[in-house]
Chain A
Amino acid sequence: MKRIRTVLIFTVALCSYFAAHAQEKTILRGRVLDKGDKTTIIGANVVEYDSEERVVNGTITNVNGDFVLQMTNPQNTVRVSVIGYKAQELEVDPTKTIVVELESADVALGEVTVTAEARTTGGLTNIEDRDRASSSVKVDLMDMQDVGVISAADALQGKVSGLDIISASGDPGSGSQLVIRGLSSMGNSEPLIVIDGIPQFRVTTDFDLSSADSEDISNLINIALQDIRSIEVLKDAASTAIYGSRGADGVLLIETKKGRMGKVQFDYQYKYNLNVQPPAIPMLNGDEYIMLQLEEWHNSQGAFDIPPEIAYDRDFVHFYNYSANTDWLREITQDGATHDHYFSISGGGEKTRYFTSFSYVDEEGTTISTRSRRFSSRINLDYFLSRKLLFQVKFNYTNNFRDNNVSIQGNHWRARNVREMAYIKAPNMSVWERDVNGNYTGEYFTPINSYQGDGVTYFNPVAVALLGMNDQTTNRLENTFMLQYRINDWLSFRETISFQYEGSKSKNYLPYNAIGADWLAWNVNKAEESNNLSNSIRTETQLTFSSPFENEDHSVSGALTWLTDQSGYEWMNLQGNKTPSVDIKDPAIDPQINWIGTGSGEDRLISGMGNINYKYLDRYLLQTILRADAHSSFGVNNRWGLFKGLSVGWRFSSEPFLSGTEFLGESMLRLSWGVSGRQPSDVYARFASYESTGTGSYILNPAIAPTSIQLNNLRWETITSWNAGLELNLFKERLYIEGDVYQKVTNDILFGGTRPEDYYKIPVSSGYDGLKFLNGGEMTNTGWELMIDARLVRTKDWLVSLNFNTSQNINRFNKLPENFNTERSTSIGNGEYPQIVMEGEPIGSFFGFRYLGVFASDADAVARDAEGNILRDGEGKPIPLQYADTYIFKGGDPIYEDVNHDGKIDLNDVVYIGDSNPDFIGGFGGNVRYKNFDFSVGFHYRIGFDIINGIALQTEGMNDRNNQSKATLRRWRIQGQDEEGMLPRAYMNHPANNLGSDRYVEKGDFLRLNNVKIGYELSKDLCNKLGVRRATFALSARKLVTFTRYTGQDPEIGQDASNPFWIGVDEARTPPPQIYTFSLGIGF
Chain B
Amino acid sequence: MATLDLDRGMPGLQPEPSVIAPGHTPETVTGKISSIILARAPRWWYVAFGISFLVVMMFLTCVTWLFAKGVGIWGVNIPVGWGFAIVNFVWWIGIGHAGTLISAILLLLRQDWRTSINRFAEAMTLCAVACAGMFPVLHLGRPWLAFWLLPYPNTMGLWPQWRSPLIWDVFAVSTYATVSLLFWYVGLVPDLGTMRDRAKNRLPQVLFGFLSLGWRGSMRHWHNYESAYLLLAGLATPLVLSVHTVVSFDFSIGIVPGWHSTIFPPYFVAGAIFDGFAMVLTLVLPLRAAFGLHDFITERHLQAMAKVMLATGLIVFYGYVIEIFFAWYSGSHDERFMMYNRIFGPYKWVWWALIASNGLTPQLLWNKAMRSSPLVLWLVSMVINAGMWLERFVIVITSLTRDFVPSSWGMYRGTIWDWGTFIGTLGVFCSLIFLFVRFLPMISMSEMRTLTPGSGSHGSAEVAE
The answer to whether A binds B is no
Interface set of B (CB-CB < 8 Å, partner A): none
A residues contacting B by CB (< 8 A) are none
